[in-house]
Structure 1
Amino acid sequence: MSEVTVSARVWVSQRDAFTFPEREVEAVMARPDAALCFSGGGSRAMSASLGYLRGLTKQGLVDRVRYISAVSGGSWATSLFTYYRAGARDDAQFLDLGLDAPTDPGTLSLDALGAELPAGSMASVITSSLRDALFEAIREGGEQNIWNRAVAKIYLEPFGLVDPQKVLAPCLDAATRDAIRARPGNAGVPGLEPDNFIFPRPGRPFLVVNACIVEPDDTRAFAAQNPISLQCTPLYVGSLQPLKIRYAGEPFGDVVLPMGGGAVESFAFGGEGPAQVQSGELSCVPTNPVNIQARQTLEFAVGCSSAAYGAVADELPILDDMRQYTPTLPYWPVREGAVPETRVFDVADGGVLENYGLLAMLQRRVPKAVVFINTNTPIDLDYVPFAEGRHGKVKDKLDVYLVNLFGVEQSSTGTDLQNNTVFTHAAFKALVAALQAKRRAGGPVVVRQRLEVQANDWWGIEGGWSCEIMWVYLARLPQWEAKLPEDTREAIDEGDRAIFKKHLLRNFPHYKTIAENTGTLVELTPAQIRALAAMSEWVIESSADELGEFLG
Structure 2
Amino acid sequence: MSSGSFTAALFLSSSNPPASLIPSQITGNVGVCLSGGGSRAFTAGMGQLQALEALQANGASLLSQVVALSTVSGGGWIGIPFTYLPSSQGTDATFLGLYTEPASLSLDIIHATPSGIGQQINSGFSISEIALTAIHLATAEGVPWNMVWQTIMGLTFLQPYDLFSPGTDDAPTDLFSYNTASLTQYVTGPNPSLDSTMTDLVAQPTGQRRPYLISLCGLSVSVNGVHGLLAPVQSTPIATGVLSTPPGATDINQRPVGSGGVASFAFNSTPTASSSGTVTVQQSRQWSLTDILGTSSAAFAQDIINKFNEWKLNPVQFQAELRVHSPAVLSKLTKAGMVHNPAGLLSAPGGPATIATLPSAVQDIIPVYDYWSPLNPPIGQTLNPNQFTDGGSLENTGVASMLSYSNVTRIVAFINTEHPLAQATGGPVQVDGSLPPLFGYQPYSNGAYTPYGNGEPIGKGFAPFQFNQVFPSDAFADLQQGLWSASGSGQHSAAAIYTQQLTTVANPWFGVPGGQSVTVVWVYLNYDTAWYDAITDPFVRVAVDFDVATHHFPSYSTLKTDLSATQVNLLSNFASWIVQSNAATFIALFS
Structure 2 length-normalised TM: 0.78
Match of 1:483 in 2: 534
Match of 1:374 in 2: 416
Match of 1:407 in 2: 440
Match of 1:114 in 2: 111
* Alpha-carbon contact 1:71-1:305 (below 8 Å) kept: yes
* Cα RMSD (Å): 2.9
> Which one-letter code corresponds to 2:150 in the other structure?
N
Match of 1:63 in 2: 64
Change (3 A) 1:136 1:407: same
> Which one-letter code corresponds to 1:207 in the other structure?
L
How many positions carry a matched residue from both structures?
499
Consecutive unaligned residues of structure 2, counting only runs of 5 or more, are 56-60, 310-358, 444-458
The superposition leaves residues 70-114 of structure 1 with CA deviations (integer Å, 9 ceiling, x where unpaired) of: 0011001011111122773211211223xxxx5121233444312
Q: Quick one: distance in 2 between partners of 1:123 and 1:44? A: 11
* Alpha-carbon contact 2:145-2:365 (below 8 Å) kept: yes
Q: Quick one: distance in 2 between partners of 1:294 and 1:353? A: 27
The superposition leaves residues 359-386 of structure 1 with CA deviations (integer Å, 9 ceiling, x where unpaired) of: 111111221110000000000144767x
* Alpha-carbon contact 2:439-2:475 (below 8 Å) kept: yes
The DSSP-based 3-state class of the residue aligned with 2:479 is: helix
The superposition leaves residues 417-442 of structure 1 with CA deviations (integer Å, 9 ceiling, x where unpaired) of: 11111112321111111111111161
Q: Quick one: distance in 2 between partners of 1:83 and 1:473? A: 27
* Alpha-carbon contact 1:310-1:349 (below 8 Å) kept: no
Structure 1 length-normalised TM: 0.83
Match of 1:492 in 2: 544
Change (3 A) 1:314 1:243: farther
Change (3 A) 1:201 1:415: farther
Q: How do 1:248-259 and structure 2 match up within 5 A? A: 256-259=254-257
Change (3 A) 1:337 1:129: closer
CA apart distance, 1:197 = 1.4
Which of 324, 349, 353 aligns to 2:390? It is 349
Q: How do 1:252-331 and structure 2 match up within 5 A? A: 256-276=254-274, 278=276, 286-310=277-301, 320-331=360-371
Q: How do 1:127-206 and structure 2 match up within 5 A? A: 127-130=122-125, 131=130, 132-138=132-138, 139-141=140-142, 142-165=144-167, 167-180=173-186, 183=189, 186-187=191-192, 189=193, 192-202=194-204, 203-206=209-212
* Alpha-carbon contact 1:40-1:351 (below 8 Å) kept: yes
Change (3 A) 1:546 1:346: same
CA apart distance, 1:403 = 1.1
Q: Quick one: distance in 1 between partners of 2:79 and 2:5? A: 32
Match of 1:239 in 2: 242
CA apart distance, 1:38 = 0.2
Q: Quick one: distance in 1 between partners of 2:549 and 2:392? A: 32
Q: How do 1:90-109 and structure 2 match up within 5 A? A: 90-97=91-98, 103-109=100-106
Q: Quick one: distance in 2 between partners of 1:224 and 1:87? A: 46
The superposition leaves residues 242-263 of structure 1 with CA deviations (integer Å, 9 ceiling, x where unpaired) of: 3465679x8xxxx743111211
Match of 2:448 in 1: none
* Alpha-carbon contact 1:271-1:331 (below 8 Å) kept: yes
* Alpha-carbon contact 2:2-2:197 (below 8 Å) kept: no
> Which one-letter code corresponds to 1:486 in the other structure?
P
Seq. identity, %? 28
Which of 467, 484, 495 aligns to 2:518? It is 467
Match of 2:557 in 1: 512
CA apart distance, 1:321 = 2.7
Match of 1:89 in 2: 90
Q: Quick one: distance in 1 between partners of 2:101 and 2:571? A: 13
> Which one-letter code corresponds to 1:434 in the other structure?
G
CA apart distance, 1:198 = 1.0
The DSSP-based 3-state class of the residue aligned with 2:584 is: helix
Match of 1:51 in 2: 47
CA apart distance, 1:23 = 4.3
Change (3 A) 1:62 1:82: same
The DSSP-based 3-state class of the residue aligned with 1:225 is: strand
Match of 1:281 in 2: none
Deviates more, 1:138-147 or 1:75-84: 138-147
> Which one-letter code corresponds to 1:402 in the other structure?
L
* Alpha-carbon contact 2:22-2:212 (below 8 Å) kept: no
The DSSP-based 3-state class of the residue aligned with 1:259 is: coil
Match of 1:543 in 2: 582
The superposition leaves residues 513-537 of structure 1 with CA deviations (integer Å, 9 ceiling, x where unpaired) of: 11x3xxxxx1210011000000111
Consecutive unaligned residues of structure 1, counting only runs of 5 or more, are 279-285, 388-393, 499-505, 517-521
CA apart distance, 1:196 = 2.1
